[in-house]
């Protein structure tokens, strides 16, 4: 042996310090990326929740008392030949999620602080203040209901990709419910005792205008199928009731009542929804075009659409009297409802199912 | 700075304080009257209507605070690269991170999932709000750890093992204990799993060894990244501990719950000890090159974090509610660590099984021996020669130590309960459940399977309690397989199709690396299957032999 070619013992632990089998294998190699290259989101997410059909050699090793495993395909009526196909369109992992949520919190806080500094609330139309108190105050509970329903749903999905998309959906909804709550409380500081911050919950629980919405939300919260919850929220309730109220009412009417703050607060939820919607449409589109179970899934989705659609439509119609409450009337309920129906039609078409005439007519 | 302070003062306006904000946020919930929420996650506990002292938390201060923490973490990772951290990092340490970081993101995300379970049961909306934040925290922990792992893969000398991480997690004979840990958070009785096992025991007691003691050891090995990430993770835990305690307090005054609480505290403490001490003890004692005699050993750390901080100040005070605390289990766990060499036997087991894992384990050497003997008197007599044999058998061409006949090690039985093998040989328990024979590392683990995870407990029906399932003995999955075929099936082969991912040394040189050809010709077997095949009399004989232990042959 030639002593001169013997190398000194390896010192550096850095990449490239030596070349040997596998020394260049610097990518997670156990899954198929959706695109040509794996995204950072995929690396953070795919296969973290294991699957006995992929790498979980020993199967799930603790079950529920009734024999259900930790995760089961039976947690939803929908079927898939490949639950692992779905990737969230918004590609959210922790860093992007906190950046976005934190930016929104800062944006809302700035708008509220600056508005309050300039005495904005004193210029709100007096009738409008009561509208915000009663109805925005009631609506915040609907958002909270969606937040807790998705919190429940994120326990059940068959993959990490599905569950994390549902989890961030929950996080957005819960934040927005709190945004509205604290915004109204701060308005109350400036406006004084004429703004009753307890009125919203009373309307939520008792006002006939809100009972359809509450029933629709409670039906979603009470559903035991996690995908039914995710479907009913993003493909049905949000376009027919959530957007109807947020965009079709608050965003459109507020300015005319001298209110430029509320639309800014509510706009965050519209942007949140665009992301949640994109994720949900992607997932349900995949399932509606399943190589093996397309027909089955479309049947299931049509059932959910009919059931939750009827509840949401009823909820939307119940809200009609709100449109006549502001002093300055700049848009009609009929127009807003027509836009909502058009929206749900577009959404379900995108997924690949058809909205029943009762929802779109 | 004075200028901005003054400006702040002028522009400051009255907002709502945290207590009022938390109260208002808590008022978002209501009791449904049209459709009831389904009780999808069963529990046998009774929960009172009010939570005690839930923490005051709102999302609008939470998100910016967390983003700030993230900024510090990612800034530190960038700085570590600029400072050439990997040039001075100890590979012995980073190799163990292949195992640790393969395991930990799943327990973390399982904690997020389990918040659905306690969230539904939470008495009061303030506590439910706490659980929602914990859910988002755990999502943070899971993905920030996946990110750290990717970062090691991209920057460390040997990425093999990181590159297959989640596949390895599902298959490896060592990660099985991590899966037992995590599945415990998400299955069975919702309070048992998501409150007692996860929060009251794992988070409150054992995250200190995981997320505080481990980072210190990382830093001693030139790894500044792990401390940055895990101390940031740990900074969320005090909120989780608060949530869990609040939940516990909403049940503890009801004597109906006491029997179940005693069961679950016993189960959770013992499993956490068996699993966390096995893994983290090994990383800290055997993954380090730092042999400073002034630093605390794992046993000393355990005494501080688990015995003093947890047992004495958290568990013992529960007695005043009439809860029976299993003092004997706490002292038995302590004895296992200091007198029965639990951690050392686990490290030995992991190294014996190197061909079927997915990271490198190098031999301990003279430098290490001295420290071990200092911290654990008597260590050298029991383990010194073993590690010398291991060093000799680390060269390709030797018989791999798993099948080596020369050194005298006897492959252990698995514990059906904690999944760590029955390494303290004299303590092995063999028992029957539903007519089948099982082995356990300890009487506590036998109790866990036979009495705790059952349809009734001390005469009380417990329909919500979980059950052990699946192919729990890893060795059974490859019974009768050739070692080389098993390694291929595990996916623990490097991209050249022949070199093994695991290596029994840190020599980064193809000439020194083991390939499939070096390990072919040995047949894996399931100790439990063999034991079950014996007649009752022969089984007793075999167990008696097992309890006597083995002797490593003198190294020469
Ligand atoms: Fe965590
Ligand atoms: Fe935690
Ligand atoms: Zn055990």
pLDDT per residue as tens digits for the range B208-254: 888 888 999 999 999 999 999 999 999 999 999 999 999 999 999 99
For the domain that residue A200 is a member of, what is the CATH number?
1.10.620.20
| B143: nearest Cα among B74, B65, B239, B237 | B74
Residue B56: what pLDDT? Answer: 83
Q: Classify the phi-psi angles of B497: left when phi > 0, otherwise alpha if psi is within -120 to 50, otherwise beta.
A: left
A46 interfaces chain B, CB cutoff of 8 Å: yes
Ligand 3 center–CA B415 separation, angstroms: 5
CA distances from residue B537 to B411, B532, B542 in whole angstroms, order as listed:
21, 11, 9
Instruction: With respect to residue A273, please indicate whether it lies within any of the assigned structural domains.
Output: yes
| B149: nearest Cα among B91, B103, B81 | B103
* Predicted confidence (pLDDT) per residue in B393-430, tens digit: 999 999 999 999 999 999 999 999 999 999 999 999 99
Q: Are B86 and A12 an interchain contact pair (Cβ–Cβ within 8 Å)?
A: yes
Task: Return the C-alpha torsion angle A184, A187, A188, A191, nearest 10.
Answer: -150
Whole-angstrom distance, CA of residue B275 vs CA of residue B69 = 29
Structural domain harbouring A232: 93-360
Ligand 2 center–CA B202 separation, angstroms: 9
Q: Which of A45, A148, A181 sits opposite B24 (nearest CB)?
A: A181
Residue A156's closest chain B neighbor by CA?
Answer: B113
A295-306: average pLDDT: 97
- Chain B CB contacts of A119 below 8 Å: none
Specify whether domain B87-477 bears CATH 1.10.3210.10: no
B434 interfaces chain A, CB cutoff of 8 Å: no
Residue B32's closest chain A neighbor by CA?
Answer: A218
Cα-flanking dihedrals φ and ψ of residue A49, to 5°? -90, 115
Q: Are B494 and A219 an interchain contact pair (Cβ–Cβ within 8 Å)?
A: no
For B395-464, where are the E strands, in sequence order? 429-433, 436-440, 456-457, 460-461
Domain boundaries, chain B: 87-477
Instruction: With respect to residue A348, please indicate whether it lies within any of the assigned structural domains.
Output: yes
Q: Are A13 and B91 an interchain contact pair (Cβ–Cβ within 8 Å)?
A: yes
Structure tokens at A174: 């819960």
CA distance A44 to chain B (A): 5
B356 interfaces chain A, CB cutoff of 8 Å: no
Ligand 1 center–CA B137 separation, angstroms: 7
Q: Are B187 and A63 an interchain contact pair (Cβ–Cβ within 8 Å)?
A: yes
| A22: nearest Cα among B334, B359, B74 | B359
Interface test with A, best of B30, B414, B487 (most A CBs within 10 A): B30
Query: Residue A11's pLDDT band (boundaries 50, 70, 90)?
Result: confident
- Specify the DSSP class assigned to residue B399: P
Instruction: With respect to residue A99, please indicate whether it lies within any of the assigned structural domains.
Output: yes
Q: Give how many domains chain A has, as a whole number.
A: 1
B122 interfaces chain A, CB cutoff of 8 Å: no
Instruction: With respect to residue A257, please indicate whether it lies within any of the assigned structural domains.
Output: yes
Whole-angstrom distance, CA of residue B173 vs CA of residue B313 = 36
Q: Is residue B57 predicted with pLDDT exceeding 90?
A: no
Please tell me whether residue B281 adopts helix, strand or coil conformation: helix
Instruction: With respect to residue A73, please indicate whether it lies within any of the assigned structural domains.
Output: no
Query: Residue A291's pLDDT band (boundaries 50, 70, 90)?
Result: very high
**Given CA atoms B193, B196, B198, B199 in this order, what sign does their dihedral have?**
positive
Q: Which of A48, A63, A153 sits opposite B166 (nearest CB)?
A: A48
- Chain A CB contacts of B224 below 8 Å: none
B84 interfaces chain A, CB cutoff of 8 Å: yes
* Predicted confidence (pLDDT) per residue in B146-170, tens digit: 999 999 999 999 999 999 999 999 9
Query: Residue B1's pLDDT band (boundaries 50, 70, 90)?
Result: very low
B497 interfaces chain A, CB cutoff of 8 Å: no
B496 interfaces chain A, CB cutoff of 8 Å: yes
Q: Are B466 and A64 an interchain contact pair (Cβ–Cβ within 8 Å)?
A: yes
- What is the DSSP code string of A137-171? HHHHHHHHHHHHHHHHHTTT-SSHHHHHHHHHHHH
B185-206: average pLDDT: 97
Q: Which of B11, B60, B86 sits opposite A15 (nearest CB)?
A: B86
Neighbours of ion ligand 3 (CB under 5 A): B 274, 415, 417-418, 441, 445
Instruction: With respect to residue A186, please indicate whether it lies within any of the assigned structural domains.
Output: yes
B9 interfaces chain A, CB cutoff of 8 Å: no
Secondary structure of A234-258 in HEC code, one letter for each residue: HHHHHHHHHHHHHHHHHHHHCHHHC
* Predicted confidence (pLDDT) per residue in A317-339, tens digit: 999 999 999 999 998 999 999 99
Residues forming beta bridges with residue B436, ordered by sequence position:
B433
B119 interfaces chain A, CB cutoff of 8 Å: yes
- Chain B CB contacts of A170 below 8 Å: 132, 135
Cα-flanking dihedrals φ and ψ of residue B493, to 5°? -125, 140
Residues 132-151 of A with CB under 8 A from B: 140-141, 144, 147-148, 151
Instruction: With respect to residue A2, please indicate whether it lies within any of the assigned structural domains.
Output: no
* Predicted confidence (pLDDT) per residue in B285-313, tens digit: 999 999 999 999 999 999 999 999 999 99
| B473: nearest Cα among B519, B524, B426 | B524
B468 interfaces chain A, CB cutoff of 8 Å: yes
Q: Is residue A19 predicted with pLDDT exceeding 90?
A: yes
Q: Who contacts B471 (Cβ-Cβ below 8 Å, separation ≥6)?
A: A57, A58, A59, A61, B477
Q: Who contacts B348 (Cβ-Cβ below 8 Å, separation ≥6)?
A: B383, B386, B409, B423
B70 interfaces chain A, CB cutoff of 8 Å: yes
What value does the mean pLDDT of chain B take?
A: 95
Q: Enumerate the H helices of B104-124 as residue ranges.
A: 105-121
B461 interfaces chain A, CB cutoff of 8 Å: no
Q: At what angle do helices A160-191 and A137-153 cross, to 10 degrees?
A: 160
**Interface predicted TM-score (ipTM) of this complex, two decimals:** 0.96
A57 interfaces chain B, CB cutoff of 8 Å: yes
Neighbours of ion ligand 2 (CB under 5 A): B 203, 240
CB pairs under 8 A between A and B: 352
The share of chain B scoring above pLDDT 70, in percent, equals 97
Residue A6: what pLDDT? Answer: 45
Please tell me whether residue B242 adopts helix, strand or coil conformation: helix
- Specify the DSSP class assigned to residue B189: S
Query: Residue B2's pLDDT band (boundaries 50, 70, 90)?
Result: very low
CA distances from residue A117 to A114, A129, B11, B12, B362 in whole angstroms, order as listed:
5, 18, 8, 9, 65
Instruction: With respect to residue A19, please indicate whether it lies within any of the assigned structural domains.
Output: no
Exposure on the CB side of residue A1, measured as CA atoms within 13 A: 4
B520 or A4: which leads in pLDDT: B520
CA distance A22 to chain B (A): 5
User: pTM here?
Assistant: 0.96
Whole-angstrom distance, CA of residue B405 vs CA of residue B58 = 62
Residues 200-239 of B with CB under 8 A from A: 222
B340 interfaces chain A, CB cutoff of 8 Å: no
- Specify the DSSP class assigned to residue B14: -
- Chain B CB contacts of A185 below 8 Å: 16, 20-21, 24
CA distance B100 to chain A (A): 14
Q: Are B161 and B155 in contact (CB under 8 A)?
A: no
Q: Is residue A300 predicted with pLDDT exceeding 90?
A: yes
């Amino acid at each position: 042996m030639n002593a001169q070619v013997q190398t000194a013992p390896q010192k550096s632990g850095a990449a490239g310090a030596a070349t040997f089998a596998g020394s260049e294998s610097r990518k997670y190699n156990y899954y198929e990326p959706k695109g040509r290259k794996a995204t950072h989101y995929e690396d953070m997410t795919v296969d973290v929740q294991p699957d006995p059909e992929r790498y979980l050699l020993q199967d799930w090793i603790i079950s529920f008392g009734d024999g259900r495993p930790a995760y089961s395909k039976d947690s939803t009526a929908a079927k898939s030949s490949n639950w692992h196909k779905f990737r969230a369109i918004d590609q959210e992992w922790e860093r992007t999620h906190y950046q976005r949520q934190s930016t929104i919190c800062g944006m809302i806080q700035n708008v509220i602080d600056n508005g309050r500094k300039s005495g904005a609330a004193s210029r709100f139309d007096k009738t409008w203040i009561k509208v915000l108190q009663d109805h925005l105050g009631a609506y915040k509970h609907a958002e909270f209901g969606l937040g807790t329903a998705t919190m429940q749903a994120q326990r059940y999905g068959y993959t990490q990709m599905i569950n994390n998309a549902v989890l961030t959906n929950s996080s957005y909804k819960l934040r927005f419910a709190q945004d509205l709550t604290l915004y109204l409380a701060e308005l109350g500081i400036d406006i004084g005792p004429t703004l009753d911050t307890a009125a919203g919950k009373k309307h939520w629980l008792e006002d006939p205008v809100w009972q359809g919405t509450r029933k629709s939300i409670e039906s979603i919260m009470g559903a035991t199928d996690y995908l039914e919850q995710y479907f009913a929220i993003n493909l049905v309730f949000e376009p027919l009731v959530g957007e109807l109220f947020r965009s079709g009412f608050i965003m459109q009417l507020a300015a005319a009542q001298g209110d430029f703050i509320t639309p800014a607060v509510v706009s965050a939820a519209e942007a949140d929804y665009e992301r949640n919607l994109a994720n949900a449409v992607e997932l349900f589109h995949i399932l509606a075009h399943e190589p093996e179970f397309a027909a089955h899934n479309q049947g299931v989705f049509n059932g959910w659409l009919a059931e939750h659609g009827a509840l949401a439509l009823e909820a939307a119609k119940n809200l009609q009297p709100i449109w006549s409450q502001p002093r300055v009337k700049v848009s009609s309920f009929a127009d807003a409802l027509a836009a909502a129906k058009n929206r749900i039609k577009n959404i379900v078409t995108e997924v690949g199912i058809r909205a029943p005439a009762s929802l779109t007519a | 700075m004075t200028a901005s302070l003054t400006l702040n003062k002028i522009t400051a306006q009255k907002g709502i304080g945290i207590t009022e904000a938390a109260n208002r946020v808590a008022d978002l919930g209501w009791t449904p009257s049209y459709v009831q929420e389904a009780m999808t996650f069963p529990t046998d506990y009774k929960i009172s209507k009010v939570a005690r002292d839930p923490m005051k938390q709102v999302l609008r201060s939470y998100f910016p605070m967390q983003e700030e923490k993230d900024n510090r973490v990612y800034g530190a990772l960038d700085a570590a690269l600029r400072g050439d951290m990997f040039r001075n990092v100890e590979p012995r340490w980073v190799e163990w991170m292949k195992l640790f970081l393969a395991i930990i993101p799943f327990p973390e995300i399982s904690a997020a999932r389990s918040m659905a379970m306690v969230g539904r049961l939470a008495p009061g909306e303030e506590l439910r709000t706490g659980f929602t934040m914990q859910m988002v925290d755990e999502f943070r922990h899971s993905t920030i750890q996946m990110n750290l792992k990717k970062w090691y893969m991209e920057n460390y000398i040997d990425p093999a093992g990181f590159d297959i991480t989640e596949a390895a997690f599902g298959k490896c004979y060592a990660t099985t204990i991590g899966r037992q840990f995590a599945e415990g958070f998400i299955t069975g009785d919702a309070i048992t799993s998501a409150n007692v096992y996860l929060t009251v025991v794992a988070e409150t007691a054992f995250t200190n060894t995981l997320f505080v003691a481990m980072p210190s050891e990382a830093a001693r090995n030139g790894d500044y990244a792990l401390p940055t990430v895990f101390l940031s993770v740990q900074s969320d835990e005090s909120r989780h501990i608060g949530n869990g305690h609040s939940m516990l307090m909403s049940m503890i005054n009801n004597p109906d719950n006491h029997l179940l609480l005693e069961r679950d505290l016993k189960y959770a403490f013992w499993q956490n000890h068996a699993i966390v001490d096995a893994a983290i003890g090994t990383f800290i004692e055997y993954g380090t090159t730092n042999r400073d005699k002034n630093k605390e050993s794992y046993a000393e750390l355990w005494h501080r974090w688990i015995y003093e901080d947890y047992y004495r100040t958290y568990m013992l005070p529960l007695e005043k509610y009439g809860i029976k605390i299993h003092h004997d289990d706490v002292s038995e766990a302590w004895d296992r660590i200091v007198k029965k060499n639990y951690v050392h036997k686990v490290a030995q087991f992991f190294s014996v099984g190197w061909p079927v894992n997915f990271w490198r384990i190098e031999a301990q050497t003279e430098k290490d021996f001295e420290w071990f003997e200092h911290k654990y008197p008597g260590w050298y007599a029991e383990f010194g020669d073993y590690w010398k044999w291991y060093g000799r058998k680390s060269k390709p061409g030797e018989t791999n130590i798993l099948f080596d006949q020369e050194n005298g090690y006897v492959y252990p039985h698995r514990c059906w309960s904690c999944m760590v093998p029955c390494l303290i040989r004299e303590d092995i328990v063999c028992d029957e459940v539903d007519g089948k024979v099982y082995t356990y590392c300890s009487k506590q683990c036998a109790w866990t399977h036979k009495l705790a995870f059952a349809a009734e407990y001390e005469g009380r029906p417990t329909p919500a309690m979980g059950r052990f399932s699946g192919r729990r003995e890893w060795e059974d999955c490859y019974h009768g397989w050739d070692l080389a075929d098993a390694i291929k099936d595990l996916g623990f082969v490097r991209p050249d199709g022949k070199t093994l991912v695991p290596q029994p040394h840190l020599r980064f040189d193809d000439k020194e690396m083991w390939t499939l050809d070096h390990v072919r010709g040995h047949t894996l077997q399931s100790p439990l299957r063999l034991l079950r095949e014996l007649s009752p009399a022969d089984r007793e004989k075999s167990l008696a032999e097992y309890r006597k232990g083995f002797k490593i042959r003198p190294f020469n």
